[in-house]
């Protein structure tokens, strides 16, 4: 499983980097559009479509596996905190496995939709500009697929009692296992 983690971890990191790039590009794009709109009365054509159909979609779906790999998804643990540790671990493994199954189905369905949008060359008309949006549909199966694989990896790690996260935690620190290995 270490080999699987060594392949999965860089993929998740790349998706995180793609998310960071999208946030940066979106910030620069919107700021430039606002400045050009109000200072020079010349906005960037297609900004709304590009932001909503590219940056936001890519950012939203690329971040799924990153959050799963760090156990950073929102969870409510009102009742489970009262349960014994082994029951908590069992429930966590089952939840991760269920997430892997659900996201596997979502991956297949969004792949079918992405292929359909590519075949019809889906585009959005904004003013006199036609912006193709079909490429952004491929972010969904890519993000959901990586989320499914990451959740499956976490499920088996939790079930074995191994480290179930990788990468820096929410405080920017590496897991204890990586610190020990240098």
pLDDT tens track for 115-150 = 999 999 999 998 889 999 999 999 999 999 999 999
For residue 42, what pLDDT band results from cuts at 50, 70 and 90? Answer: very high
The token duo for 29 is 């794009």
Q: Is the pLDDT of residue 176 over 60?
A: no
Query: Quick check: 146 and 14 in contact, CB under 8 A?
Result: no
Residue closest to 15 by CA, chosen among 51, 52, 57, 66: 66
Higher pLDDT, 54 or 173: 54
Which of 34-38, 50-54, 60-64, 76-80 is the least confident region? Answer: 76-80
The whole-number pLDDT of residue 99 equals 96
> How far apart, in whole angstroms, are the C-alpha atoms of residue 102 and residue 98?
6
């Amino acid at each position: 499983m270490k080999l699987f983690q060594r392949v999965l971890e860089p993929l998740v990191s790349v998706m995180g980097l793609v998310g960071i790039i999208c946030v940066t590009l979106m910030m620069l794009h919107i700021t430039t559009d606002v400045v050009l709109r109000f200072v020079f009365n010349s906005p960037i054509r297609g900004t709304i479509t590009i932001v909503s159909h590219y940056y936001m979609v890519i950012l939203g779906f690329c971040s799924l596996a990153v959050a799963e790999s760090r156990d950073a998804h929102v969870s409510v643990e009102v009742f489970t905190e009262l349960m014994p540790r082994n029951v908590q671990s069992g429930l966590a493994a089952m939840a991760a496995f269920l997430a892997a199954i659900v996201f596997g189905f979502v991956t297949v369905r969004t792949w079918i939709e992405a292929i359909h949008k590519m075949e019809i060359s889906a585009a959005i008309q904004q003013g006199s500009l036609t912006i193709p949006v079909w490429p952004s549909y491929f972010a969904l199966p890519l993000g959901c697929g990586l989320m499914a694989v990451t959740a499956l990896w976490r499920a088996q790690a939790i079930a074995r009692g191994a480290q179930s996260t990788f990468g820096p935690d929410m405080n920017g620190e590496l897991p204890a296992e990586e610190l020990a290995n240098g």
